[in-house]
Amino acid sequence: MIIRLFFISLISTFAFTQCSTTIILPSTFDGKQIEFGSGGGFVGTVTSYILLENGMLFKKEGFSEAVSRISTIDANIAAQIFNNYGSLGLAKINVDNPGNVYKFIIFSNGEINHKQVWSNNSTEKNLNLFYDNLKGLVNLDSK
């Protein structure tokens, strides 16, 4: 009887330890992240998405700081996106031209927090291209 209880307890412990998952939130993530989205208009609400360099993609809506994980993209695609930020020269561009309705991209790596805000289309073609590619990640997820 004691041996049976020992095995049941051992199996239960193993099952519970195998089911645990580590939840990584953007607020506690130490690596690079890109937040992008749009806001403004009559209500002034903001919808943003946060891509972590490990491929996790989160959504943040309205006036809340709460985030929800919506998907995980392939690590190679995530790496390419973060590489594109540098290769397109976006770190050297400074755009701060919000209008009534605006778009934004915020690149963070712990030390740097580079924010760009613009209304409609920016004259910076690489910025628009990068934003459209980021939005494509969200659209692929919703299909």
What span, in angstroms and rounded, lies between the C-alpha atoms of 141 and 93?
A: 29
DSSP class of residue 143?
-
What are the φ and ψ backbone dihedral angles of 120, each rounded to 5 degrees?
50, -125
pLDDT band at 14 (very low <50, low <70, confident <90, very high): very low
How does pLDDT run across 52-83, given as a tens digit for each residue? 999 999 999 877 778 889 999 999 999 999 99
- CATH code, domain with 52: 3.30.1560
Both tokens of 138, joined, read 């969200």
Q: Is the pTM of this model over 0.75?
A: yes
Please report the pLDDT score of residue 5 as a whole number: 41
What are the φ and ψ backbone dihedral angles of 10, each rounded to 5 degrees?
-65, -45
Q: Does residue 3 register a pLDDT over 60?
A: no
What span, in angstroms and rounded, lies between the C-alpha atoms of 110 and 58?
A: 18
Compute the chain's Rg from CA coordinates: 20
How does pLDDT run across 109-118, given as a tens digit for each residue? 888 889 999 9
What are the φ and ψ backbone dihedral angles of 22, each rounded to 5 degrees?
-90, 125
Q: Which domain holds residue 117?
A: 2-142
- Please state the domain count of the chain: 1
